[in-house]
Amino acid sequence: MSMSRRTVLAVAAVAAGATTTATAVSPAQAATASGTGTQDPASAVRALRAAADYAVEKLRAVAPGVSAFPVGTKFEKWTFSQNGDWVGGFWPGTLWMAYLHSGDEAFRTLALDSALKLAPRRQDTSTHDLGFLFYPSWVTAWRLTGDDSWRAGALEAADSLIRRYNPRGRFIRAWGALNDPNNAGRVIMDTIMNLDLLAFASRESGNEKYLHVAVEHARTAGRVFPREDGSTPHVFDFDPGTGAPIGPNTVQGYSPSSCWSRGQAWGIYGFTTMYRRTGCQEFLSTARKLADFAVGALGSDHVPVWDYRAPQQPYDVKDASAGAVMACGLLDLSAATGRHDYREVALRILTALSETCLTRNSTRAEAIVARCTRNRPAEDGIEISLPYADYYLLEGILRVLRPQDVDRAVDLSTVSGADRPGRSRAGR
């Protein structure tokens, strides 16, 4: 009898049991335990600036020859999707970050040309990833240019996204066409990062229907995903007809009881964003719970393993993209809570990625960040480069070096008496 790789992994996860469980600790406790102490701010800034400069030079060399959307590397060269797959927004987003850091108008032109190629996806109702596709591309284009066609296109994409909302279970389904019964009740952690497109749509249109869907999905995710210790599964399944919960599962994690590091990072960033857009304390509490677990699970090198509960962690393959996303979320969380220790860990992650995960040692490499893992259980994309790693590393670095510029691009504001839905910040 033969067993699938998924079955083998699941059986091994049960056998591993408690020996692979990371314990949630505070960021300050994690820093003390690793003996790292306080990081030299000047040294960190130098490392981050050097990494951003390297990224700009790499993009100057590679970007003019790119006519589609990078999805990952093979033998250090980008492979491409013509329609963007789910990652299409990150290439123009990366070009926008390079433009903000360098002031080079060539990056602005390339970013706009690339974003325009996503136009047919505005009416795509077959994916939850419209936030990934349109926020770093079209929303950022509108915010930096003031051209209302970008804003209008992003609103169209938000209209497509809310059609995936299941009111019985109060969730946005992740995968599959609207008329496809397969995966109709499947919710994944990644979706929390697509909700900011809906918050944007309510803010700009004055119609609260978009934010209502975002809040209801986030409340559902906050109820079913976090475990008591703050870890999360990748997937949670519902009965699509009744909305009744079925239970946790996974696709890209080690097992339903493990903790896929990039999913955990999506959660940290996404729940913090939902707090900023709504002021709802429950979202901030969830973000802190997820962050404390992830910080406690980090190894001394501050580059996440692909799954915090895989049996070979902390010596398993790394996922630098999880680190880049996590760092952005921790910087956000530090600002939202006033907790400097979250910022300290974020700086350590960004410095580690800048010093140990860039492609500096290869003349062949077309990407910026190496040591990424796309889908370990499927043996798909292990130790490669991924476009979202490049994007979030640059976003994280510029959050430190040029926070006002990043705010111009993606809106780092928090809802308050002076910053409510409907407020326009285009072309600032």
Catalytic residue, chosen from 85, 159, 190, 307, is 190
Q: Is 301 among the residues known to form the active site?
A: no
Number of H helices, E strands in the chain: 16, 9
Structure tokens at 348: 């350590």
B/e letters for 158-193, b = 16+ CB within 10 Å, e = fewer, are bbbbbebbbeebbbbbbbbeeeeeebbbbbbbbbbb
What φ, ψ does residue 13 adopt, rounded to 5°?
Answer: -65, -40
Hey, CA dihedral for 231, 343, 36, 46, is it positive or negative?
Answer: positive
Q: By the 8 A CB rule, do 339 and 287 touch?
A: no
Nearest by Cα to 158 from 214, 102, 93, 114: 214
Give the Cα separation of 410 and 426 in Å (integer): 11
Provide the 3-class DSSP secondary structure of residue 95. Answer: helix
Find the helix packing angle between 387-401 and 41-62, rounded to 10°: 140
Q: Is 53 among the residues known to form the active site?
A: no
Give the Cα separation of 387 and 78 in Å (integer): 9
Structure tokens at 136: 């770093």
E strands, 145-288, are 165-166, 171-172, 186-188, 235-238, 245-249
Separation in Å, CA 361 to CA 54, 365, 366, 369, 378: 12, 9, 12, 11, 28
E strands, 144-293, are 165-166, 171-172, 186-188, 235-238, 245-249
Q: By the 8 A CB rule, do 63 and 110 touch?
A: yes
Catalytic residue, chosen from 53, 85, 104, 129, is 129
Exposed/middle/buried for residue 138 (C-beta within 10 Å: 0-12, 13-18, 19+): buried
Q: By the 8 A CB rule, do 178 and 165 touch?
A: no
Residue with tokens 């019964």: 181
Q: Which residues are catalytic?
A: 129, 190
